[in-house]
A and B are shown apart, each in its own frame.
Chain A
Amino acid sequence: MIGYLIAAPFLGLLYMGIHRKVIARIQGRPGPPIWQEILHTLKFSFKETWIPRSASKILYIGIVFIAIAIWVGALYLVLLGGSLLMLFGIYMLQKLVEHGTGLSPGSPYSKFGGIRSVISASSELPLFAVIAGIYFFTGSLMISDIIQYQADNGPLLFSLLPAAIAMYIITLSKMHYGPFSIIEAKEIVSGYRTEHFGAWRAGLEISDGIRTVVLLMTFVLLFWGAMSPVMLFIAMLIILLSMSFVCAVSPMLSPYDSVTVQLIVIVILVAWMAILGLIA
C-alpha cells in the first residue's frame, strides 16, 4: 500500500504531463515534455514559501493538507474496494477544497475561482445518478462487490452505458484545460490556486496527481472491472488520451454555459437510465 501511495503522485503527474503534451500536439504546438508536471512540483517544493498578509492563515495552510488527505483517502478506498458513496463524497469534497483554497488568501482572482467552483458544483449531481444506476444493477455500493459483479456478468460499460457516459463527463470536468475547467481559466490567472505558491502549490500539485490517478482508476474499475496493473495502466492511459482529445478540440465554455451544458447532458442521460430501468 505504501508503494502505491508513493507511486500515485508521480504516475498522476506523469499522466497530467501526457495530457498537456497530447493537447499541444493536436493543436499543432510542440508542448512541454511529459515529465513537466513532475518538474513543476519539484521546483515548487524548493521555492521560497510564505503566507500572504491578507490570508486566513490556518485555512490557507490547512486546506492544502486537507486536499492531500482526501485524495490519499480516496486512493486507499479504491484499492481496498470500499464504499462508492464515500468515494463520490470525496469527489464532491474536492469542491470544498477548491472553494476554501480560493477564499482563504483574500485575493479577488482566487476568490472568483472559488465562487466558480460553487457554481459548478451542480455538475457533481450526476454522480448520484451513477450511484443509483450502479446500485440498482449490482445491489451494492462496495467497489469490491461491483468488481465481482462484473467478473460474473461482464463489464457495466455496456449494460449501464448512460452511467458510464455521465461518469466520463464528470471525470472530464475535473481534468485540466477542458471545456468545463472554468475554475482555473486564464482570465482569473490560475483561478483558485493563484495565491498558493512555493511548498503550498507543490502540495496542491501532489493532490492533483493523486486525484488524476483516482479518477481514471475508478472509471476503469467501475465500468470494466479488475485487471492486471499493466493493463490497468494502459486502460487509464486510453481514457486519458480520449479526454485529451476532447480538451484539445473544444473551447473553454463560459461559467454559466459550462453548467448549463453539463446539466442538459446529464438530464438526458438520467432520463435514458430511467427508461432502461423501466424496461428492465
Chain B
Amino acid sequence: MFELASSSIGGQALFVLPFGDIVAYFSPFTAALFLFALIFTLVCIYSRPEKSMDIVFGTDALYAKEVTGKDLHFRRFMAIACGIATMGAVTSGDVFNFTLFVSMVGVCIIGITASVKNSQVQNTAFNYGIVAMLATIPLFGAAAITLAATGTLSIWELSAMAPAMPWIARALILVGVMGEGMAPFYVAKAELTRAPGAPYVLMIHVSSLLMFLRVVEIILTV
C-alpha cells in the first residue's frame, strides 16, 4: 500500500508509478472505474450491434435498422478510442492529462454519433460538438490556473498540500467535464442515444459517467 494524502476519499493507493512529480496511481476507486471502462471497451470490440426495430410511419410494418460496412467499422473504432481515452482519464495522476483525455472523449463522442445517417442524430451531434468545443476553454483554463497557483499539475502532489487547487479552477474543471460529456445537461444527448448500435452508443454514456465520477474525486482530493 502507498500512502495517498487523502486516502479517506477513494481509499489507499494500490499501485504507484512515479514520473518525476507526476505520479500515476491506482486507488480502489480509480481501479474500479478503470475496470468498468475496460469491460465496456471489450464489449465494443467483441459485440455486434443490435438490429434496431423501427415502425414505418403511418403503417403497422416494422423494419430492422442495421449498422454494417464502413459505418460499423468507423463507429466501432471511435467507441474503442473513446473507451481508451476514458481509461486514461480515470487513471491519470495529472490534471492536464486528465483534461486532455476528457477533451479526447468529447471528440470521440462526436465521431460515434456524427456518422449516423439520420438528420436528427446529426443535428444533435452538431449541437453537442459546439458545446464540447466550448467546454475545452474552462477545462484547460482550470489546468492553467492550477499550474500558475501551485507550480504543479500532479494530483499526488496537490493532494499532499490540499486544499491547493483554487476554487475557481475546481469550478472550471467541473464545468468543462459537464460540457464535454455530462449526459443530464443536455436533453440533446438523450437524442444522440437514439442512434442504432447499442455497444457504441452505450460507450457515450459510460465515458460521461466515469469522467464525472473521476472529476468529483479530483475536486475533493486536491
* Chain A interface residues (CB < 8 Å from chain B): 53-60, 62, 66, 73, 82-83, 85-86, 89, 92-93, 95-96, 99-100, 103-108, 111, 114-115, 118-119, 121-122, 124-125, 128, 131-132, 135, 139-142, 145
Q: Roughly how many angstroms separate A114 CA and B205 CA in the complex, as a whole number?
A: 11
Q: CB distance B217 to A59 under 8 Å?
A: no
Q: Roughly how many angstroms separate A152 CA and B88 CA in the complex, as a whole number?
A: 40
Q: CB distance A57 to B48 under 8 Å?
A: yes
* Set B52, B185, B201: member contacting A122, Cβ < 8 A: B185
Q: Roughly how many angstroms separate A172 CA and B38 CA in the complex, as a whole number?
A: 31
A69 to chain B minimum Cβ distance, whole angstroms, is 9
Q: CB distance A54 to B198 under 8 Å?
A: no
Q: Roughly how many angstroms separate A128 CA and B55 CA in the complex, as a whole number?
A: 40
Name the residue on A nearest B40 (C-beta).
A96
User: What is the interface size of chain B, counting residues whose CB is below 8 A from a CB of the partner?
Assistant: 43
Q: CB distance B47 to A106 under 8 Å?
A: no
Residue B160 is within 8 A (CB to CB) of chain A in the complex: no
Main secondary structure of the interface of A (DSSP, over half): helix
Q: CB distance B52 to A111 under 8 Å?
A: yes
Q: CB distance B213 to A85 under 8 Å?
A: yes
Closest 4 CB pairs of A and B: A122-B184, A103-B198, A58-B47, A106-B50
Q: Roughly how many angstroms separate A195 CA and B201 CA in the complex, as a whole number?
A: 19
Query: Contacts of A62 on B, CB cut-off 8 Å?
Result: 39, 43, 47
Interface string of B2-24 (1 = CB under 8 A from A): 00000011110000000000000
New A-B contacts (20) at CB < 8 Å, excluding given A58-B46, A89-B33, A132-B220: A54-B50, A54-B51, A57-B48, A59-B202, A62-B39, A66-B39, A82-B11, A89-B29, A89-B213, A96-B40, A96-B205, A96-B206, A96-B209, A103-B201, A106-B64, A108-B53, A111-B52, A115-B194, A124-B184, A139-B8
Q: CB distance B47 to A128 under 8 Å?
A: no
* Set A66, A73, A92, A100: member contacting B198, Cβ < 8 A: A100
Task: Tell me which residues from 19 to 67 in chain B have a Cβ below 8 Å from any Cβ of chain A.
Answer: 28-29, 32-33, 36, 39-40, 43, 46-55, 64
Q: Roughly how many angstroms separate A58 CA and B45 CA in the complex, as a whole number?
A: 10
Given known contacts A118-B205, A121-B183, is B8 in contact with A140 (CB within 8 Å)?
A: yes
Q: CB distance B209 to A93 under 8 Å?
A: yes
Q: List 11 A-B contacts (CB under 8 A).
A: A59-B43, A62-B47, A66-B39, A83-B10, A85-B216, A85-B220, A99-B202, A99-B205, A106-B198, A119-B184, A125-B184
Query: Contacts of B52 on A, CB cut-off 8 Å?
Result: 54, 106, 111
Residue B83 is within 8 A (CB to CB) of chain A in the complex: no
Q: CB distance A58 to B50 under 8 Å?
A: no
